[in-house]
Amino acid sequence: MTSYKNIITNKGNDLDTLSRSFPIILVFLRHFECIFCKEAIRDFSDRRAEIESKNKKVVFVHMSDDKTADTYFSEYNFDNAEHISDPKCDLYRQFGLSKGSFSQLFGLKVWSRGFELRKSAINMNFHSVGDSLQMPGIFAIFNGEIKESYIHRSIADKPNYENFINCCQV
């Protein structure tokens, strides 16, 4: 079993300790200007009340500094989001998240889904705040163990968030 001790959030909480209090939905973002990451933040923000009513907590992992991250989370009404800054991508590697291939980052699915999202009023910017080659992923952690995971095959993948929201009944 992997230990998540000494992985500290912006609020000073240890990830392992949090996961022993309630299930954690750990969302690894690529970079803050990624349209798919903005969609994920918006989707989790829209479902935040439901997630918290099920005694679960969303924790984001990003490659930026905490102040920049807070600005982006606030933009999507996710004020006071709990998050972990990992500029060297050590945690990404620990969870098996690698750099993307050309097709994972720029394939037809990425362009077509990105175009559709652009029509939904999510702003797209080509300036990355983080490593634009990094692949994202989502994990449900409870009692120090990964209970559910989704490692993206394409940056345009949209995992079934229900699996994570309903995972790990307390």
Q: Is residue 58 part of a domain?
A: yes
Whether residue 80 is contained in a domain is answered as: yes
19: containing domain: 15-165
Give the β-pairing of 57-62 and 145-151.
unpaired
Domain-located, residue 51:
yes
Say if 1 falls within a structural domain. Answer: no
Residue found under tokens 């994202």: 136
Q: Is 45 inside a domain boundary?
A: yes
- For every one of its 170 residues, what pLDDT tens digit does the chain have, with 9 covering 90 and above? 466 778 999 999 999 999 999 999 999 999 888 889 999 999 999 999 999 999 999 999 999 999 999 998 999 899 899 999 999 999 999 999 999 988 888 888 887 887 777 766 555 555 556 788 899 999 999 999 999 999 999 999 999 999 999 987 76
Asked if the structure places residue 5 within a domain, the reply is no
Cα separation of 91 and 62, whole Å?
A: 10
Contact status, residue 149 vs residue 141, Cβ threshold 8 Å? no
Residue 117's pLDDT is 75
Whether 52 maps to a domain, the answer reads yes
Please give the tally of structural domains in the chain: 1
DSSP letters, 42-67, are HHHHHTHHHHHHTT-EEEEEESS-HH
Domain assignment present for 104: yes
Helix (H) or strand (E) holding 163: helix 161-165
CATH number reported for the structural domain that contains residue 150 in this entry: 3.40.30.10
